[in-house]
Amino acid sequence: MTQFTNEVEKQKALLALEEWRTYVKFSESDCWRGTKIVKFNDESIKVFETGTGKLLKETKSPHRRRTLIDMMFKNSQ
Protein backbone atom coordinates (compact mmCIF):
# COMPACT_ATOMS: atom_id res chain seq x y z
CA MET A 1 0.00 0.00 0.00
CA THR A 2 2.81 2.44 0.80
CA GLN A 3 4.41 1.89 -2.60
CA PHE A 4 1.87 4.26 -4.16
CA THR A 5 2.23 7.06 -1.59
CA ASN A 6 4.68 9.08 -3.70
CA GLU A 7 2.56 8.72 -6.83
CA VAL A 8 -0.56 9.80 -4.96
CA GLU A 9 1.20 12.85 -3.50
CA LYS A 10 2.55 13.77 -6.93
CA GLN A 11 -0.91 13.52 -8.48
CA LYS A 12 -2.44 15.63 -5.69
CA ALA A 13 0.18 18.32 -6.30
CA LEU A 14 -0.53 18.28 -10.05
CA LEU A 15 -4.28 18.59 -9.48
CA ALA A 16 -3.74 21.46 -7.03
CA LEU A 17 -1.45 23.13 -9.57
CA GLU A 18 -4.05 22.90 -12.34
CA GLU A 19 -6.58 24.64 -10.10
CA TRP A 20 -4.14 27.26 -8.74
CA ARG A 21 -2.89 28.30 -12.16
CA THR A 22 -6.40 29.31 -13.29
CA TYR A 23 -6.86 31.87 -10.48
CA VAL A 24 -6.64 35.50 -11.59
CA LYS A 25 -3.59 37.36 -10.34
CA PHE A 26 -4.77 40.71 -11.67
CA SER A 27 -7.07 42.19 -14.27
CA GLU A 28 -7.06 45.61 -15.89
CA SER A 29 -9.07 47.34 -18.57
CA ASP A 30 -7.83 49.81 -21.14
CA CYS A 31 -10.76 52.00 -22.21
CA TRP A 32 -8.80 53.66 -25.01
CA ARG A 33 -7.97 50.37 -26.69
CA GLY A 34 -11.17 48.62 -25.65
CA THR A 35 -9.33 45.68 -24.13
CA LYS A 36 -9.25 43.80 -20.84
CA ILE A 37 -6.01 42.11 -19.78
CA VAL A 38 -6.17 39.17 -17.37
CA LYS A 39 -3.00 37.73 -15.84
CA PHE A 40 -3.22 34.39 -14.04
CA ASN A 41 -1.15 32.92 -11.19
CA ASP A 42 1.00 30.97 -13.64
CA GLU A 43 1.75 34.30 -15.38
CA SER A 44 -0.15 33.38 -18.52
CA ILE A 45 -2.01 36.33 -20.05
CA LYS A 46 -5.27 36.63 -21.94
CA VAL A 47 -6.39 39.80 -23.72
CA PHE A 48 -10.12 40.22 -24.36
CA GLU A 49 -12.11 42.75 -26.35
CA THR A 50 -14.11 44.72 -23.77
CA GLY A 51 -17.41 45.00 -25.64
CA THR A 52 -17.75 41.44 -26.90
CA GLY A 53 -15.53 39.45 -24.55
CA LYS A 54 -13.80 37.95 -27.59
CA LEU A 55 -10.33 36.51 -26.88
CA LEU A 56 -7.82 38.58 -28.86
CA LYS A 57 -4.51 37.19 -27.63
CA GLU A 58 -3.32 34.42 -25.34
CA THR A 59 0.20 34.04 -23.96
CA LYS A 60 1.14 30.74 -22.33
CA SER A 61 2.96 30.53 -19.01
CA PRO A 62 6.72 31.04 -19.39
CA HIS A 63 7.45 28.68 -16.49
CA ARG A 64 8.02 24.94 -16.31
CA ARG A 65 5.77 22.74 -14.19
CA ARG A 66 8.35 22.30 -11.38
CA THR A 67 8.77 26.07 -11.11
CA LEU A 68 5.00 26.55 -11.01
CA ILE A 69 4.68 24.02 -8.18
CA ASP A 70 7.36 25.91 -6.23
CA MET A 71 5.54 29.19 -6.89
CA MET A 72 2.24 27.69 -5.74
CA PHE A 73 3.68 26.45 -2.43
CA LYS A 74 5.59 29.70 -1.87
CA ASN A 75 2.39 31.75 -2.29
CA SER A 76 0.37 29.50 0.01
CA GLN A 77 2.66 30.08 3.02
Residue 8, domain member (yes or no): yes
User: Which CATH number do you get for residue 27?
Assistant: 2.40.10
- Give the number of domains in the chain: 1
What residues have CB less than 8 Å from 27, skipping those under 6 apart?
36, 37, 38, 39
Q: Which structural domain, as residue segments, surrounds residue 23?
A: 2-61
pLDDT tens column, 18-66: 999 999 999 999 989 999 999 999 999 999 999 899 999 999 999 998 8
Residue 76, domain member (yes or no): no
pLDDT (average), residues 4-23: 89
Nearest C-alpha neighbor of 41 from the set 16, 12, 10:
16
The string of DSSP letters for 23-54 reads SEEEEEEETTTTEEEEEETT--EEEEETTT--
Query: What torsion, rounded to 10 degrees, do the Cα atoms 27, 24, 45, 74 define?
Result: 120
- Looking at residue 1, its pLDDT comes to 55
Residue 71, domain member (yes or no): no
Residue 35, domain member (yes or no): yes
